[in-house]
Structure 1
Amino acid sequence: MRKAASALDYREIARRRLPHFLFEYIDSGSYDQVTLRRNVEDLANIALRQRVLRDVSNIDLSTSLFGEDLAMPVALGPVGLSGMYARRGEVQAVRAANKAGLQLALSTMSLCSLTEVSAAAQKPIWFQLYMVKDRGFIRDMMQTAAALGCPTLFLTVDLPQPGSRYRDVRSGLTGARGPMGQLRRFTQCAMRPAWAWDVGIRGRPHQLGNVAPVLGSDSGMLDFLGWIAGNFDPSITWKDLDWIRAEWPGKFVLKGILDPEDARDSAKAGVDGIVVSNHGGRQLDGVPSSAAALPAIADAVGGDLTILADGGVRSGLDVVRMLALGAQGVLLGRAWAYALAARGEAGVAHMLQLMQAEMRIAMALTGCKNVSEISRDILVTP
């Protein structure tokens, strides 16, 4: 297999390797996928100022986020079911991230449990949590994460209920239940024999490791769909954050902020950071792209909170664009999931190498010697 030259190349390899319903799960957005497209297109349309004669012989990509030193302002963001894209996928991903001097934020909906992934990591990882009705489950997850040394908790707040993802229905992931649905997914798996052997057979057990204690030992990978529908808490308000903050000893970040007023309320709530995100275009279709929403949010709370962003980032050039718009770091999502599906740990490692090289070139050609020099000054304004 030839090496991919970009994250988009890895997308095509992932499409050919994964069973159809799994590829559709990671690749799709909600409704007509307007926001999914905006995330990518709005970033691509941001023009940069090329500068010359700036002495960019020593480019430094390193930064610090939430008290941790990172090799570049990038981390692997939480991606559900990523353990199905490669054998014990989250373990492979965290190894690649750590070798690159970066972090991984593990999803609550990961195949590999927090304990399993932490055991494979070189240092304590970040953890992403959903707010569910069962506060006992929330407390147990936070206690487990704290006991494992997780320094930063990301609470996803843009999912009071799941968005309508029609491609998941058409693929058979959510629209086909019972024996016929199982047969449909089995057929799709059989059409990908390399995946079926490496992940389908050798990658067992196919349980959501963090949720399995709630679902039961006989639960399967797709049982989480019904659990989500019945357990995500649509009644959560800003007041509930007080309880989280009282229970959680580390850094606390809200993921899914898209409005300046919500950003200001986040600062008032005393959190340490926010992630400007529309859930990869998988929730409310038609909302602005993360890139479009980011500048106003940065203007509102840039001096009060650490701001991360995700959505549509497919290259190191996109990372530089997000930083110029006001983010201090970027969470990768689909970019690392595609690479994982294509080549496992080696794919994620190579994708991060590409990101680093692309960032270095973009910084050199915009006259930035280090990350702190990336600002709106490097953008071409109308």
Structure 2
Amino acid sequence: MADLRTTNPDPASPYPLDPADVTPAGPPRAGAGVGLAVPGRATGERGFVPPASLADFAGLARAALPAEVWDFVAGGSGTETTLAANRAALDRVAVLPRMLAGVDTPSTEAALPGGRFALPVAVAPMAYQKLLHPDGEVGLAAAARAAGVPYVASTLASTPVEDIAAVGGTVWFQLYWLRDRGMVADLVGRALAAGCAGLMVTVDVPVLGRRLRDVRNGFALPPHVAAANLPGGRDDLAHQGTPGVSAVAVHTGAVFAPALSWADLAWLRERTPVPLLVKGILDPRDAVRAAELGVDAVVVSNHGGRQLDGAPGSAAVLPEVVAAVGERCAVLLDSGVRGGTDVLRALALGAAGVLVGRPLLWALAAGGRAGAEAALALLAAELRDALILSGCADPAAARELRTLIGG
């Protein structure tokens, strides 16, 4: 097996990486393998000693995972320009803290679609979590329940939505639009019957972005990882490895509908009794149209830099989207969030909250459910510190902060 510290099969590759995803890693640990990450800092069956920051989980995960799995999760599309832009856009946001606010014990509670939660955070929808650790989606959903935040279950989860929802807590279901509308209706019905409290439709994947790391690796899903929400045999293509071909891209090309339209979104709105969120919005005009159709929230997202390479960093367009929709619906930020300071930045730019993705996968890889619980607890602590340092009693106050871009 290749050196687990090699992020790209071509050491001379010029493609930039998200700096938060390339924390220097130590030597690979014995026993690491697909779906068998070995927590190197566990203190017992349920104990886990977290690193110093949420972003530092990347190094632990990189040391635990086979190189091709690391690439599948860490990589972006094309030359990974947008992947790098997500971090750059957030790093350009300077927050002006308020002084003499008398804040020492801020509340981190915030309103998100469907209720109030312990943090202005939801766990982003991410596919095939059993690739990272046997605990998979159930482990991460249990960590989200313990943290008091929503967990978004992916259409391409490696665990059925019914089993994820049975963990308890607040579960939203993320929907990819499939070529078979009957399957779409069936997925929505299953999610609602299982008790999912929200529906998040992803609109930025008419086809899968060309993810060159997966192409170079000839990446395919291992036999023990499957798209558990699709009927049997519907993900066979994802397991057929071919040199120079991403089997996951072949599979999604066969089952995803490339021509999702506003009429489809209106059809879904009419049939969705729970909060409806639309993920993958970057242009304010699309945000306005979604709000006019009655969605409860838009998620400003470029899919973590994994779809259109050359799209802007999500944080760069967030203020325009917030201004465009006004009070018609909530606005959440996705892509590039790596810690509590980033949550504060998003709030100061007008977001109601954020989705957190890769860092929680890194934590899952490093320590299973215990690692994910530790990561979310660390994120909460980072946010509390950021609120105190900025003079904010709660996330609502953070939305009143001023920002400078590039300052």
Q: Kindly tell me the number of residue pairs found equivalent between the two proteins.
A: 354
Moved more, 238-247 or 28-37: 238-247
In the alignment, which of 6, 10, 17 is matched to residue 57 of structure 2?
Answer: 10
- Does structure 1 residue 330 correspond to structure 2 residue 354? yes
Secondary structure, aligned partner of 1:215: coil
Q: Counterpart of 1:166 in structure 2: which amino acid?
A: L
CA shift for structure 1 position 129 = 0.4
Using the alignment, how far apart are the partners of 1:210 and 1:218 within structure 2? 15
How far the C-alpha of 1:51 sits from its partner, in A, is 3.1
Contact kept? 1:366, 1:378, Cα under 8 Å = no
TM-score (norm 1): 0.88
Partner AA of 1:33 in structure 2: E
The answer to whether the Cα contact below 8 Å between 1:207 and 1:221 also exists between their aligned partners in 2 is no
Distance 1:221 1:69 in 2: 43
Kindly indicate whether the alpha-carbon contact (under 8 Å) linking 1:129 and 1:154 is maintained by their aligned counterparts in 2. yes
Structure 1 position 113 matched with structure 2 position 132? no
Instruction: Looking at secondary structure, tell me which structure has more helix per residue.
Output: 1
Q: Structure 2 matches for 1:148-187, cutoff 5 A?
A: 148-173=194-219
Query: In the alignment, which residue of structure 2 is the partner of 1:235?
Result: 259
Q: Are the counterparts in 1 of residues 103 and 388 from structure 2 also a CA contact under 8 Å?
A: yes
Counterpart residue identity of residue 100, structure 2: L
Structure 1 residue 208 displacement after superposition: 1.4
Q: What amino acid maps onto 2:254 in structure 1?
A: G
Cα distance between partner residues in 2 of 1:103 and 1:79: 13
Query: Is the CA contact 1:88–1:112 (under 8 Å) kept in the aligned structure 2?
Result: no
> Which residue of structure 2 lines up, in the alignment, with residue 210 of structure 1?
229
Would the alpha carbon gap of residues 242 and 380 (structure 1) be closer, same or farther in structure 2, given more than 3 Å must change?
Answer: closer
- Give the deviation of 1:88 after TM superposition: 3.5
User: Could you tell me which amino acid in structure 2 is paired with residue 209 of structure 1?
Assistant: A
Matched AA of 2:234: L
Does residue 96 of structure 1 match 2:115? no
- 1:256 lines up with 2:280 in the alignment: yes
Match of 1:196 in 2: none
**How many Å separate the matches in 2 of 1:379 and 1:144?**
43
Which residue number corresponds to residue 190 of structure 1?
Answer: none
| Structure 1 residues 124 and 214: CA distance shift in structure 2, 3 A | farther
Q: Distance in 1 between matches of 2:240 and 2:353?
A: 31
* Unpaired segments ≥5 residues, structure 2: 1-39, 42-49, 242-246
Contact 2:106 2:384 in 1 (8 A): yes
| 1:39 maps to amino acid | N
2:244 aligns to what? none
CA deviation map 1:189-233 (0-9, x unaligned): xxxxxxxxxxx8xxx842211024361799859875433112211
* Percent identity between the two aligned chains: 39
Larger mean Cα displacement after TM superposition, 220-229 or 205-214: 220-229
The secondary structure found in structure 2 opposite 1:275 is strand
Give the Å deviation of 1:149.
1.5
CA contact (8 A) 2:337 2:356 kept: yes
RMSD: 2.0
- Picking from 140, 147, 151, the partner of 2:186 is 140
Aligned-residue offset at 1:45? 2.4
**2:237 and 2:251 in contact (8 A); partners too:** no
Relative to 1, partners in 2 of residues 1:266 and 1:95: Cα closer, same or farther, differing over 3 Å? same
8 Å CA contact retained: 2:114, 2:198? no
Query: 1:166: how far off?
Result: 0.4
Distance 1:256 1:322 in 2: 16
CA–CA distance in 1 between the matches of 2:191 and 2:94? 41
Say if 1:219 and 1:264 are closer, same or farther in 2 by CA, change over 3 A. closer
Q: Which residue of 2 aligns with 1:47?
A: 94
Whole-angstrom distance in 2 between the partners of 1:144 and 1:375: 36
Which residue number in structure 1 is paired with residue 339 of structure 2?
315
Give the whole-Å Cα distance in 2 for the aligned partners of 1:155 and 1:216: 20
CA, structure 1 residues 105+216, in 2 after alignment: closer, same or farther (shift >3 Å)? closer
Does the 8 Å CA contact 1:139/1:247 hold for their aligned counterparts? no
Opposite residue 173 of structure 1, the aligned amino acid is F
Amino acid at match of 2:99: V
| Structure 1 unmatched ranges of 5 or more | 175-184, 186-199
